[in-house]
Amino acid sequence: MAPSLPDKPSLEGLEEKWSARWHDTGVYRFDRSKSRDEVYSIDTPPPTVSGRLHPGHVCSYTHTDITARYWRMRGKEVFYPMGWDDNSLNVVRRVSIHYGVTCDPTLPFDAGFEPPGEGTSPPVPISRPNFVMLCEQLTTELEKSYYDLWTRAGLSVDWTHTYTTIGARAQRASQWGFLRLLERGLAYTAEAPTVWDVDFRTAIAQAELEDRELPGAYHRIAFHRADDGGDVFIETTRPELIPACVALVAHPDDERYQPLFGSEVTTPLFGARVPVKAHPLADPEKGSGIAMICTFGDVTDVTWWRELDLPVRSVIGPDGRLLPVTWGAPGWEAGDADRAQAAYDELVGKTAKQAQRRIVEMLGESAELVGEPKPITHPVKFWENGSRPLEIITNRQWFIRNGGRDEELRQAMLARGNELKWHPDFMRVRYENWVNGLNGDWNITRQLPFGVPIPLWYPIDAGGVVDWENPILPAFDDLPVDPSTDVPKGYTEAQRDQPGGFAGDPNVMDTWATSSLSPQIVGGWADDPDLFEKVFPYDLRPQAHEIIRTWLFYTVLRSHFEFDRLPWTDAAISGFVFDPTRKKLSKSAGNAPDDPMNLLTQHGADAVRYWAAGGRPGQDIALDPNQFKIGRRLAIKILNASKFVLSIEAGAGAAGAPVDPSAVANALDRSMLARLRSVIDDATRAFDDYDYTRAIERIEPFFWNFCDNYLELVKGRAYAGDASALAALRLALSVVLRLFAPFLPYVTEEVWSWREEGSIHRASWPTIDEIPSGGDTEILAAAADVLSELRKVKTEAKRSMKTPIASAVVRDAAARIAAARAATDDLREAGVVEGDLVFQEADGFSVDATLTEPAA
RNA sequence: GGGCGCUUAGCUCAGCUGGUAGAGCGCUGCCCUUACAAGGCAGUGGUCGGGGGUUCGAGUCCCUCAGCGCCCACCA
């Protein structure tokens, strides 16, 4: 039931029409009756539902979709789910504002809670389960706009397979995953120095650190030798940590300080005796070559503290302010405790910054500060979500082993990275850099109100002491649990936080502890083992390069532990989209020029996808309106050329007849098909290597040459009903449409529907076996060159293209002459050559043509 | 400090194993040619970042320098 060809084909309305049709017919629905080897599965990244999507998302998700469509046409059953990341601080902020609430895990669950709504001040505190419910509610609303965008963009996602990162399924998988690691000792708790954000008052992991350049100053400060041998000068950017100083350290080979090793010095202002130690990490070139070790100023301090077996003297509290301490008490010995206390009292309760200002004044007064501080700019560690420098404080955390302090595991993780196929390959280096630079296990504990709870309770003994080392575990069937409101088996709510009772773990997991299970979550590991078996291990993980150290690494780690294998065979790493003007576009909501929905409605989805296809894996790409224009033109060209081919066929009375490749006898036709055969070959190879850009770079020039030269040359013969021409045109059109289908799903589907049954997106990817063998590609090439020259003659004479040519002489090398001569009749027709068309052998290529005189 | 990527026409980029520089856009000119005027045809345009080297021959291989972007780093 092929519909009639449109008179004036147009792109208008195609997106609404086909996205609705695809939805209704379920073309992209995953068929779970297939076996694993018939499946191609994708571990889709879940975009955060808080922020707006931007063109970069459209670009990288299109890359994945192009790949998905290719494999679907290759006959694979494609598992292409979609996720929403609603387990993030952004979401917390958004939910808080939208509903006028704030999350307080100490509150009990309230089943009947109704949020007051936006603008409520102060926000209403609610329990964590209540907060999570609102989060899911908002996510559901936001999903709608995401669905609209992705659908419009033509993503061939199966919308019956979606997941979130805070919903019950994710929590269940996430908590189960954690408990399984706990059982095997791969997750453990420890009290340890922890990188700490003083505003959010939470621990964070190494993977979420970033450096920011901040102004600071070297302060040259005098320590006093205990043997009265004079002063030792150190330089520090953090003089406020002098009370936390537990040692000085210099390089073992540093002759200046060798005499001091093993001796003691006293700290300025506080008069605490600290040893002088040797350690190879101390850099003789830096500052005065001898440094003070504080607990803790930075991660080097932690290393020194651990390796030199030093005591702890903590002065920074979880809020970033200086803690009260009692000088003279054990661990806080001072030569003159009263003087030390007096000095310290000046600092207590101040932020690090305030304390620094005050202590510098005091050091100046005591003449222990030498000279003026030297201003510098230096990198300081921040949480990527934070706004104040991180501190390092000591407290109890849950860790997952990651190779940071286990060489065997580190090597195993490096081997996994090596086993994974990276696209592009050089991204592997980033993974290796990261694994090699790990300096500790993965701290998954976050002291945040919102997130997936750590699914543990702890017994409290009769004396009220919490037993952190022997947690109470939930049963698998009870997952997910929230220990802040749920009660462990065998206890009652009344026993919460009571002697002889239990304490719920108040903390949540790092979001990556959940995201790293995305293959497990969406594949049904914890709730649909049959599905999981069909999709795991996945074929593809598409993602951005900046989260290689987090999402990619952690996912590999979790899969390594749980399944002893990679979670996917291939990782496709996308680049960034940048603005061509290098300037930030306005982000004012709605009508920003880079709003993805605007791009799609303005230029058309196929056009935007065409642009995206130009971005190779791992390469940045400019947001270029020009490319949208070109893509749109290509789509229109496909409509028109297709209509032309099919209308000629209809005119010849051959409409609907099956394509018969064996009818292609003409040398020019066979030449065109020979070229097409190599295009199929190249494009297929490129796709197999995840290089969709290379694929379209082969397909597109073929198509334009097909239109500009082949169609023009063959036109006359086709109109006359030549069987070879008709068969070649139909065959080429069928192949070209299918080659373009992954890139331009709308226009190709539209054209396909004019003549074929079923969706092109379930049609088979073209193979070279469809093309008759043989054919000399030189014939079309040579004929096109001659045709070009004939046109040039007319252009230079400023005459119309239909101006007849009285006579023409073509000169070229023998082989080229032979090739062009094979298309003589078509050349005469296309070039409107009325008189002689002569071919002569010559050294170079030239065409002399004489036009007929214009009518008087 | 270590590493990765990039540097080819005004712009965006192809140039895979070395063999006389390519595409599109832009620009200029021409053409209502019955698939396409939101089009078609043709033309203009480059000492392939700099400097060395290997080779009969290098955008393509080696060394080195520079700029841009990014990753990592124990930055007192």
Specify the pLDDT at position A581. 59
For A478-514, b/e burial (b = at least 16 CB within 10 A) is ebbbbbbbbbbeebeeebbeeeebbbbbebbbbbbbb
- For residues A486 and A129, give the distance between their C-alpha atoms in angstroms, rounded to a whole number: 10
A641 CB contact with strand B at below 7 Å? yes
Low-confidence ranges of chain A (pLDDT < 70): 1-3, 50-51, 580-593, 654-655, 854-856
DSSP, collapsed to helix, strand or coil, labels residue A79 as: strand
Find the helix or strand (DSSP H, E) in which A222 lies: strand A209-225
Specify the pLDDT at position A550. 96
What is the residue whose two structure tokens read 């792109």?
A: A11
DSSP, collapsed to helix, strand or coil, labels residue A421 as: strand
- For residues A296 and A316, give the distance between their C-alpha atoms in angstroms, rounded to a whole number: 9
Task: List the A388 CA – B14 C1' distance (angstroms).
Answer: 46
Name the closest nucleotide to A798, judged by C1' and CA: B30
Specify the pLDDT at position A593. 63
Q: Which nucleotides of B are covered by protein (CB under 7 A)?
A: 2-5, 11-15, 23-25, 29-33, 35-36, 38-43, 69-76
Q: Record the pTM.
A: 0.94
Name the closest nucleotide to A424, judged by C1' and CA: B5
A846 CB contact with strand B at below 7 Å? no
Quote the tokens at residue A242. 């002098």
Task: List the A707 CA – B46 C1' distance (angstroms).
Answer: 29
A601 CB contact with strand B at below 7 Å? no
Specify the pLDDT at position A592. 60
- For residues A810 and A839, give the distance between their C-alpha atoms in angstroms, rounded to a whole number: 5
Q: Would you say the C-alpha torsion A562, A568, A571, A576 has a positive or negative sign?
A: negative
Name the closest nucleotide to A426, judged by C1' and CA: B4
Task: List the A481 CA – B59 C1' distance (angstroms).
Answer: 62
CB A82 within 8 A of CB A159: yes
Task: List the A640 CA – B6 C1' distance (angstroms).
Answer: 39
Nearest to A140 by CA among A182, A89, A98, A189: A98
A236 CB contact with strand B at below 7 Å? yes
A801 CB contact with strand B at below 7 Å? yes
Spell out the alpha helix ranges (H) of A153-205. Answer: 168-183
A218 CB contact with strand B at below 7 Å? yes
CB A615 within 8 A of CB A692: no
Task: List the A739 CA – B24 C1' distance (angstroms).
Answer: 20
A774 CB contact with strand B at below 7 Å? no
A240 CB contact with strand B at below 7 Å? no
- For residues A370 and A744, give the distance between their C-alpha atoms in angstroms, rounded to a whole number: 70
Quote the tokens at residue A93. 């902020």
Task: List the A430 CA – B72 C1' distance (angstroms).
Answer: 8
Residues 187-206 of A with CB under 7 A from strand B: 206
Instruction: Please report the beta strands in A347-405, taking only residues with DSSP state E, as ranges in sequence order.
Output: 369-383, 391-400
Specify the pLDDT at position A223. 96
A278 CB contact with strand B at below 7 Å? no
Name the closest nucleotide to A634, judged by C1' and CA: B36
CB A692 within 8 A of CB A658: no
Name the closest nucleotide to A803, judged by C1' and CA: B33
Name the closest nucleotide to A210, judged by C1' and CA: B72
- For residues A440 and A273, give the distance between their C-alpha atoms in angstroms, rounded to a whole number: 30
Specify the pLDDT at position A659. 82
Please write the tens of the pLDDT for every residue from A698-738.
999 999 999 999 999 999 999 998 999 999 999 999 999 99
Task: List the A97 CA – B27 C1' distance (angstroms).
Answer: 53
Backbone phi, psi, residue A139, to 5°: -60, -40
Task: List the A726 CA – B25 C1' distance (angstroms).
Answer: 34
Specify the pLDDT at position A588. 40
Specify the pLDDT at position A584. 43
Whether the upstream peptide bond of residue A537 has omega within 30° of 0, thus cis, is yes
A574 CB contact with strand B at below 7 Å? no
Specify the pLDDT at position A213. 86
Strand partners, A234: A221
Whether the upstream peptide bond of residue A519 has omega within 30° of 0, thus cis, is no
Task: List the A628 CA – B65 C1' distance (angstroms).
Answer: 39
Specify the pLDDT at position A1. 40
Name the closest nucleotide to A291, judged by C1' and CA: B76
A630 CB contact with strand B at below 7 Å? yes
Q: Would you say the C-alpha torsion A585, A587, A593, A598 has a positive or negative sign?
A: positive
Please write the tens of the pLDDT for every residue from A66-86.
999 999 999 999 999 999 999
Task: List the A630 CA – B25 C1' distance (angstroms).
Answer: 8
Q: Count Cα atoms within 13 angstroms, Cβ side, for A12.
A: 4
- For residues A325 and A819, give the distance between their C-alpha atoms in angstroms, rounded to a whole number: 94
- ipTM, interface predicted TM-score of the complex: 0.95
